[in-house]
Structure 1
Amino acid sequence: MSQIDQAVAVRDGEELDASTVDRFMKQAVADLQGKPVIRQYPGGASNLTYQVDYGSHSFVLRRPPFGKIARSAHDMLREARVMATLKPVYGYVPEIVATCDDHSVLGCDFYVMQRLEGVILRQDFPADLAMPAEDVRTLCTNVIDKLVELHKVDAEAAGLNHLGKGDGYVQRQIRGWSDRFVKARTDDVGDFATVMQWLNDKMPDDVAQVVIHNDYRFDNVVLNPDNPLEVIGVLDWEMATIGDPLMDLGNSLAYWVQADDEAPFKMLRRQPTHQPGMLTRDEVVTYYAQQSGRQIDNFDFYEVYGLFRLAVIVQQIYTRYYHGQTADKRFAMFGQAANYLQMRCEKLISKSGL
Structure 2
Amino acid sequence: MGQGGILIRRNNPARSMLAGLTMIIVVMVAGWLFYGRPDAPSGGSTETPVQAPTAVTGEASDVANNDIAADSPYLLDHLPFKEEEVLAITAGGNGKNARIPAERQFVLLESLRYTDMKSALAGPMPAASRKPIVLQFKLADTHYELTYDLTSNAFEYQGKYYYADDRVLLLMQGLFREREELASLDALLEQARVEQEKETSVDPDAAPAAPLDGEAAQVDGLDFDGWEQRLAESPPEEIVWAKPFYDDGTGQVKEARLFKDGVLELNRMIVFTRPDHQCAAGVKTGISTDDVTKKLGTKALKLESRWSYKVGDYFRFHVYFMDGKVKYLALSQPL
Give the TM-score band, short-chain normalised: under 0.3
TM-score by length of 2: 0.27
Give the structure with higher Rg (CA).
2
Looking at secondary structure, tell me which structure has more strand per residue: 2
Point out the structure with the larger helix share. 1
TM-score using structure 1 length: 0.25
